[in-house]
Structure 1
Amino acid sequence: MPDPAGALPAASLLQLIWLASPALPIGGFSYSEGLEAGVEWAGLATEAQAADWIADQLHLSLARGDLPVVAQSIAAWRDGDAERIRTLNAWVLQTRESAEFLLQTEQMGRSFVEWLKLHHADVAPSFDGLPVTYPVAFAFAASRTQASLRDGCLAFAFGWAENMVGAAVKSVPLGQSAGQRMLGRLAEEIPAAVDRAVTLSDDERQAFSPMLAVYSARHETQYSRLFRS
């Protein structure tokens, strides 16, 4: 459990940072989550436009869907509540609104579990044939650290932000300095998004970003593209 004083031990903090790293071989870098389609059809052509797009996605999508799932799944893994974990995992699968979004959470979840097995022989999350989604798989790993629910969500969100900024730098395209400015803005906005996410109940958690889903679906047939979604 977290340190009562609020300080995360160095080893646990480093492990949490490692879990959220875009360098993990789980394929996160290969997805743009509809942003590449936004470049084509929504006119994302500047640093400001791309930054606004990602910030909106943070607050309107991630903070209301995946981040609450991460927080609730960490708690469920620590409680050994298998039924709760299966329910949360099923919710993620049911709320992916395009084939690409579904592919992403299934592929990254599967790859994350396989990577974990290389470092922890006892890792074997099983859902009786149901694919392990990425937020639930990440929560499993985070639950084995001393991180609080908030710390786990902060790490998850920052890892997501790094991947999204990387996608923007490549697809808009933008320079590395622009990418760092965007990441700085997101780092300032992520704590408020996480603070909201960790308070949401099942009835308040939701996944409703219709235009993002439309762009993701259009990306599936986009003529020229760099990313899988």
Structure 2
Amino acid sequence: MNTAEPGAPTPTDSVPGLLQILWLASPALPVGGFSYSEGLEAAVDADWVSDETSATEWLTDQLQLGLARADLAVVAQAIPAWRCGDMARIRALNHWVLHTRETQEFRLQTEQMGRSMLEWARNLGPLGTGVFERLQSAGLEPPTYPLASACAAAHSDASVRDCLMGYAFGWSENMVQAAIKSVPLGQSAGQRMLARLAQAIPAAVTHAQSLTDDTRQAFTPMLAILSARHETQYSRLFRS
């Protein structure tokens, strides 16, 4: 049975849609997500995050107030645009991501991860040709990670909602690993945190899918302050 959404292209390879989304969400994807804490390390340094409870609350808030309102909403709008070839829409969304990053760290992160996604597709050879050529032809200078990830997801036959679930879970895994290393915490604590985030992801995805250009937002002022502090933090494990 074909589960592709109307207008979705035929996948460029034989990997089923679910496996493609799991692949994109994997920490093994060579885009460098493991090297960023997205302000969490600065929150630990400020003693705002100091244990499992505070780390869980911090990341859950970041999922709901940051990721769901901004990057997840962008990916939700970008996947249909990639599937129907609306390059003007893609460029507009990419422009929005670039110009709503509140610190240099956050902007460098989305640029580096976007370029790495492009290289990942190029290095796959025939398996990644469709994604690589589509990203190149879009003329994004540079491609941001949400738009590059959406391009890769659009080449699967997975639903937009499932693509967003994968994106959010991949983010959660990276952030939990950042918490384990920076707080620090044990692996069992990390699994409990991931379980809490997994419970919160469906509602975050639903909210992201409900947002429009007028209601999508990137406004996390305290996170921006922590990120700016992190740029000159004396001792760091992470790039953000």
| TM bracket, shorter-chain basis | over 0.9
Percent pairwise identity: 62
1:93 is displaced (CA, Å) by 0.2
Count of paired positions: 225
1:115 alignment partner in structure 2: 120
1:207 is displaced (CA, Å) by 0.1
1:32 alignment partner in structure 2: 37
The answer to whether the 8 Å contact 2:91/2:140 transfers is no
1:25 is displaced (CA, Å) by 1.1
1:146 alignment partner in structure 2: 157
Structure 2: runs of 5 or more not aligned: 6-13
Query: More deviation in 19-28 or 48-57?
Result: 19-28
1:165 is displaced (CA, Å) by 0.3
The amino acid across from 2:186 in the alignment is G
Residues 87-129 of structure 1, C-alpha deviations (whole Å, 9 max, x = no match): 0000000000001000100000000111011222342313446
CA distance in 2, matches of 1:22, 1:88: 25
User: Is 2:203 the partner of 1:192?
Assistant: yes
1:206 is displaced (CA, Å) by 0.3
RMSD over equivalenced CA pairs, Å: 1.5
Does the residue aligned with 2:210 lie in a helix, a strand or coil? coil
Provide the TM-score with structure 1 as the length reference: 0.95
The amino acid across from 1:78 in the alignment is R
Would the alpha carbon gap of residues 196 and 129 (structure 1) be closer, same or farther in structure 2, given more than 3 Å must change? closer
The partner residue of 2:58 within 38, 53, 56 is 53
The partner residue of 2:216 within 191, 202, 205 is 205
Provide the TM-score with structure 2 as the length reference: 0.90
CA distance in 2, matches of 1:176, 1:162: 12
User: Is 2:239 the partner of 1:228?
Assistant: yes
Runs of 4+ aligned residues of structure 1 deviating over 2 Å after TM superposition are 1-4, 126-129
Would the alpha carbon gap of residues 34 and 17 (structure 1) be closer, same or farther in structure 2, given more than 3 Å must change? same
1:2 is displaced (CA, Å) by 3.0
Would the alpha carbon gap of residues 108 and 10 (structure 1) be closer, same or farther in structure 2, given more than 3 Å must change? closer
Does the residue aligned with 1:206 lie in a helix, a strand or coil? coil
User: Is 2:89 the partner of 1:84?
Assistant: yes
